[in-house]
Chains A and B, each alone.
Chain A
Amino acid sequence: MTLTRRDALGLAAGTVAFLTFGGKLAFAAAEETAAAISAFTGGKEPATGKITLDAPEIAENGNTVPVGVTVESPMTADDHVVSVMILAEGNPNPQVATFNFTLMSGTAEAKTRIRLAKTQNVVAIAKMSDGSTYIDKKEVKVTIGGCGG
């Protein structure tokens, strides 16, 4: 069987087991963001470090903004990443995606594209197998554009 490039990527994406998009309309986005983080971490304050959120400083197209997360982890039975949640604080529905990982994932890396309604913080939180959580945050600006040069 010959795999095309697109097929290969499709398979690779399949190794990220469960990709769940957040549901239902939000009340105040900030409250929902805080509530979602709290629910994800079990009420604990996430630490910084280990997780790196990769997102552009200024979005080229707010309708499809590439974001990626990488979490440092040996991915062993004792020490691995369980899941990573991505939130867009300023979107009507801040919960963008949750990536669940298993030992079979090998590395804890994921990429997706998200829609950003306006300039806002994008947040990524990793939950580790020991229950600890790590956070990274980046402001992504959505501009009208057009006057550089």
Chain B
Amino acid sequence: MFSRREFLMAATATSALLGSGMAGSWSRLMAQQGLTEDTLLSMEAKGNVTLIHITDIHAQLKPLYFREPSINLGLGEVAGLPPHVTGADFLKLYNIAAGSPDAYALTSEDFTALAGTYGRMGGMDRVATIIKRIRAERGADNVLLLDGGDTWQGSYTANKTLGQDMIAVMNALEPDAMTGHWEFTYGTDRVKEAIDSLPFAFLGSNIYDNEWDEPAFEPWKMFERGGSKVAVIGQAFPYTPIANPRWMMPGWSFGIREEDIAKHVEEARAEGADVVVLLSHNGFDVDRKLASRVEGIDVILTGHTHDALPEPVNVGGTLVIASGSNGKFVSRVDLDVKDGKVAGYAFRLIPVFSDVITPDADMAALIDEVRAPYSEELARKLGTTESLLYRRGNFNGTFDDLICRALLEERDAQIALSPGFRWGTSLLPGQDITVEDVHNACAMTYPAVYRNSMSGQMLKDILEDVADNLFNKDPYYQQGGDMVRVGGMGYVIEPGKDIGERISGMTLLATGETIDPARDYVVAGWASVNEGTEGPAIWDVVESHITKTPTITLPENQSVTVKL
């Protein structure tokens, strides 16, 4: 459906301006001249329909720092393919100049220095400006705004309001549809109540009623835009009841269910759809595989794995589009629909430079309003960091090192386990650490910190299990997320091996002794999926630790050895 030539026309907003593929020199030029809102947002319109995609905002209303991963391995067929390309390799692949705005937005290269140059990204008031401008330029009747989910969770205020702050903000943006994942961790009753209140569709083709094995959500919806019929199929995160507590959503079953998607594509085409879009929270590799197996999808707007790619990946004529996370990016896809099919397209991944894009006044006021009841607590300073604090990456992040240190010391444990979530914002050296910052790294509805004894064998089993969820060669067996973070223990991992054989060299760091499968160790951790887990909330544990050591310095983590 899409030619190679059209492919070359797709690029991030900061590099596409000359349309010449001279991304590098243009980026440097812009860095010299300074970015402007016009250069970021202007785009030569194409065709008759525009899709706007935002996903994985994780309740981040305000501009923030978010360091992209420096390591994001892909195995098997996807080894070395985007999004499994990072750092300097990423810059080379997409012809992006080091030190340019794109380099800052899309990679971890020189992150701290470039963050100083280009500032914070995101902010839903800036996102509102972008969406309003696209609607004004294209005509609101020609635009679909689609939210890929993981929207309602990830901040202090979202946790306090059970996602209501985000719902208020998103409603003001007037999306046409959304799907979900962390949304479900507010529990069945709250999710039903919230969805019933939405003035737009919540789509979930793959969510079934557990008891009757029947579809539980509206699977897809037809929209008329620009004189064309656009079918949007919603795909929630397939492993929500496995990666998150099943007891919080006991009546619903998920799964990939590609045969259902194929059925909905057929139904949509039979009802006259000119364009079929999958609004997905599958994760990139799952969607790439799905695109190769299910016929007839024009565009997959993918989410969950938080990848930001400056070009669509074309899988047999299906465009797979990854729009990043945390409000850092907005994707704009212009489609030229002719004779019942997509004849051409143009794409821009718009990086939301918060110092460049004017905040939308109405949205800024609404954000202030939903945060106002908590403003004092959000701003309460707990300490200062001398190190860059970040989470994203396959094996460890400094923010997780801080959390693990808090778990070990506050809970008097030998080993700490902290989940490898892909959400969680970054803090630059010299920044204050506030209550809001701590919650950005751990705000969720099952925050209890457990303190258990676990055998060495059980610890190995857990590491093997999580590693297989991340590195299974078949994407359909991957759950997204990154490797569980470990404090107090080192290990060696060979991602390319099979389950049971990846982990070795488990060592108790305090003494240097080898972990004994038969011996028990005191382990502290949080975010257990088991019902009835008891203990203080993770943010209280981290706060207590920072209060005792208010200047945070973290040495480079060398406890995980990766063998490729």
Contact = CB atoms under 8 A, between A and B. Distances in A.
Contacts of A23: none
Interface stretch (B252-260, B428-436, B509-517): B252-260
A60 interface: yes
Contacts of B182: 149
A144 B256 contact: no
A54 B213 CA distance: 13
A148 interface: yes
B242 A145 contact: yes
B476 interface: yes
B6 interface: no
A58 B254 CA distance: 10
A141 B238 CA distance: 14
Contacts of B421: 147, 149
Contacts of A56: 255
Interface stretch (B7-15, B41-49, B461-469, B556-564): B461-469
A26 B405 CA distance: 48
A58 B422 contact: no
A148 B423 contact: no
For chain B, give the interface size range: 35 or more
B529 interface: yes
B404 interface: no
Contacts of A141: 468, 477
A57 B528 CA distance: 22
A86 B344 CA distance: 48
B484 A147 contact: yes
A146 B421 CA distance: 10
Contacts of B239: 58, 145, 148
Interface residues of A, number: 20
Interface in B399-423: 419-423
Interface string B477-499: 10111101000000000000001
Given A66-B213, A143-B242, A149-B419, A57 B477 contact: yes
Given A58-B479, A141-B477, A147 B255 contact: no
Nearest to A64: B210
Given A57-B476, A111-B213, A144 B462 contact: yes
Given A57-B476, A60-B242, A61-B246, A145 B529 contact: yes
A124 B529 CA distance: 32
7 contacts: A60-B242, A60-B253, A143-B468, A144-B465, A145-B479, A148-B237, A149-B419
Given A56-B255, A60-B241, A145-B479, 11 more contacts: A57-B474, A57-B477, A59-B242, A111-B213, A143-B242, A143-B465, A147-B243, A147-B421, A149-B181, A149-B243, A149-B244
Chain A to chain B: the 10 pairs with minimum beta-carbon distance, closest first: A148-B243, A148-B479, A148-B481, A146-B529, A145-B242, A144-B465, A60-B241, A149-B421, A147-B419, A57-B476
